[in-house]
């Protein structure tokens, strides 16, 4: 597949997303605008041995000065303690507002680095280099950055667009199958809410092995879809909320299970099945949709059931604190059909009853 360059309309301006096999070996020209500046590279202990050397060498070749910060891997890293450590690192490195932060890793590193970029000195330049499928198709574009709070996922965050997104699809070859599955959960979400053709393609391939050759085009398609939504609703006040299909329950599962025990994409899979069932009970979603989604998820060896021990009583406090809550209502994304979704306010008591009926 030839390289793909997608311009994402954002706020305050557009930014390019470059998608290319082997891009990491050819990124020096992309970094030339940072010549004479400092670039703080934030990564984790799993990604650093694979790609940090190549990235820092490219920064130097572009005439910039790299500074490297390696964090522990996993969802628990997306916290205020690690954020404070990044601030100290940036101060010690002499990073100023004309310099940049580069997130090298998955969604955790991207979200955490992005929030640091948004808040350090009231905002510094920000580059995304996502290395997981989930980050490539979803979290690296759109400008949502955040850290977790002990009482809920992503409760502390901002909207802050990157200046540049660099995607090398070859990095997917180093992922374990669980991380691939987490990314596939978000890919299937895009098919459910925005692109019935994409959903049919995933269903027709029928397995991870058959779908893998299509990853570059799938990454590009998911980013195109998200870019269209972000352009219409950059601050998540209307249409963009449909991107949260499956996330209402997913975030509660992640919090109740303990961050990192259930991967975000895995939780989204479970949440999509639940949201389809809720939509049917609300008279919005066609009756067989829940089973249709469940069959596709099962074919890709993805979870569909809430983990044992996570009762409604354990899940609901986090769910009620979700960012999509308004007053006594919780805004739930429901499917009108595969490929089309809308957000519906549901009284919290009714949603809790739905959950209890399913448990």
SS (H, E, C) 168-235: CHHHHHHCCHHHHHHHHHHHHHHHHHHCHHHHHHHHHHCCHHHHHHHHHHHHHHHHHHHHHHHHHCCC
* Structure-block tokens of residue 192: 């459910």
Domain boundaries, the chain: 4-174, 177-358
What is the tens place of the pLDDT at every residue in 116-169?
999 999 999 999 999 999 999 999 998 999 999 988 889 999 999 999 999 999
Is the Cβ–Cβ distance between 342 and 244 less than 8 Å? no
Lowest-confidence region among 90-99, 255-264, 294-303, 337-346? 255-264
Topology, domain 4-174 = Rossmann fold (3.40.50)
Q: Quick one: pLDDT band at residue 235, thresholds 50, 70, 90?
A: confident
pLDDT of 293 above 80: yes
Unique residue bearing structure tokens 């970094």: 31
What is the tens place of the pLDDT at every residue in 296-306?
999 999 999 99
pLDDT of 80 above 70: yes
Report how far residue 16's alpha carbon sits from residue 314's, in angstroms, rounded to the nearest whole number. Answer: 42
What's the mean per-residue pLDDT of the chain?
A: 93
* Structure-block tokens of residue 212: 């893998």
Name the packing angle between helices 348-358 and 312-320 (round to 10°): 150
Q: Which residues of 127-138 are buried (b: 16+ CB within 10 A; e: fewer)?
A: bbbbbbbbbbbb
pLDDT of 230 above 60: yes
Strand partners, 105: 130
> Looking at residues 175-191, what average pLDDT do you find?
96
Report how far residue 46's alpha carbon sits from residue 199's, in angstroms, rounded to the nearest whole number. Answer: 31
Strand partners, 164: 127
For the chain, report the end-to-end CA distance as a whole number of angstroms: 45
Lowest-confidence region among 2-11, 162-171, 232-241, 248-257? 2-11
What is the tens place of the pLDDT at every residue in 191-200?
999 999 999 9
pLDDT of 2 above 70: no
pLDDT at 324: 62
Find, among 92, 91, 27, 89, the residue nearest to 64 by Cα.
Answer: 27
Find, among 349, 243, 249, 259, the residue nearest to 306 by Cα.
Answer: 249
* Structure-block tokens of residue 337: 């059909």
Q: Quick one: pLDDT band at residue 328, thresholds 50, 70, 90?
A: confident
Report how far residue 278's alpha carbon sits from residue 267's, in angstroms, rounded to the nearest whole number. Answer: 16
pLDDT of 336 above 90: yes
Q: Residue 103, SS3? A: strand
- The dotted CATH code for 177-358 is 1.20.1090.10
């Amino acid at each position: 597949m030839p390289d793909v360059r997608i311009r994402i309309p954002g706020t305050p301006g557009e930014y390019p997303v470059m998608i290319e096999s082997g891009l990491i070996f050819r990124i020096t020209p992309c970094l030339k605008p940072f010549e004479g500046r400092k670039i703080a590279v934030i990564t984790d202990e799993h990604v650093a041995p694979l790609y940090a050397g190549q990235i820092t060498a490219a920064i130097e070749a572009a005439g910039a000065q790299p500074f490297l910060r390696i964090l522990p891997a996993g969802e628990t890293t997306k916290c205020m303690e690690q954020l404070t450590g990044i601030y100290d690192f940036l101060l010690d490195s002499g990073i100023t507002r004309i310099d940049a932060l580069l997130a090298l890793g998955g969604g955790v590193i991207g979200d955490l680095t992005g929030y640091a970029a948004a808040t350090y000195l009231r905002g510094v330049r920000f580059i995304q280099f996502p290395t997981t499928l989930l980050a490539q198709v979803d979290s690296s574009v759109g400008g949502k950055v955040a850290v977790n709070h002990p009482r809920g996922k992503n409760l502390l965050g901002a909207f802050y667009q990157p200046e540049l997104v660099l995607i090398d699809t070859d990095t997917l070859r180093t992922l374990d199958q669980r991380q691939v599955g987490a990314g596939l959960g978000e890919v299937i979400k895009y098919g459910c809410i925005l692109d019935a053709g994409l959903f049919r393609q995933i269903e027709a391939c029928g397995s991870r092995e058959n779908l893998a050759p299509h990853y570059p085009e799938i990454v590009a398609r998911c980013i195109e879809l998200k870019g269209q939504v972000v352009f219409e609703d950059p601050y998540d006040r209307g249409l963009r909320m449909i991107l949260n299909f499956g996330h209402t329950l997913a975030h509660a599962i992640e919090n109740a299970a303990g961050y990192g025990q259930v991967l975000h994409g895995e939780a989204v899979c479970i949440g999509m099945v639940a949201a389809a069932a809720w939509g049917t009970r609300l008279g919005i979603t066609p009756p067989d949709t829940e089973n249709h989604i469940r069959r596709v998820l099962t074919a890709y060896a993805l979870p569909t059931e809430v983990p044992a021990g996570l009762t409604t009583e354990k899940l609901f406090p986090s769910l009620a604190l979700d960012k999509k809550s308004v007053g006594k209502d919780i805004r739930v994304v429901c499917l009108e059909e595969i490929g089309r979704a809308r957000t519906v306010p549901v009284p919290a008591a009714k949603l809790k009853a739905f959950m209890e009926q399913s448990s």
